Amino acid sequence: MKFLVLLQEDEYGVFVAEVPSLPGCISQGDTRAAALANIREGITGYLDSLRAHGEPIPPPIGEEVVDVGA
């Protein structure tokens, strides 16, 4: 199962990872790799919790890149 992860570096140099299709599923790390490893663990825990409570797993959100010719 694949999920779109938004990854941004904040003003302190910390990388913040968020999964839009899983509300509240946010993590961070000192590097991109650490943030991605942490969000992978967060996604797994989130999905495990949904399953344990009999909740449906939201479908992944699609992604498109739009070039505005800046």
Domain ranges of the chain: 6-52
| pTM for the full predicted model | 0.85
Strand order from edge to edge, sheet including 6-9 = 6-9, 15-18, 26-29
Distances (CA, A) of 56 to 15, 20, 28, 42, 49: 29, 16, 26, 17, 10
Interval 54-65: pLDDT, tens: 999 998 778 888
Which residues are within 8 A (CB) of 2 and not within 5 positions of it... i.e. 6 or more apart?
60
Closest by CA position to 25, among listed 8, 54, 47: 47
Which tokens belong to 10? 């904040």
Residue that wins the pLDDT comparison between 70 and 67: 67
Task: Identify the bridge partners of residue 9 per DSSP, sorted by sequence position.
Answer: 15
Interval 28-54: pLDDT, tens: 999 999 999 999 999 999 999 999 999
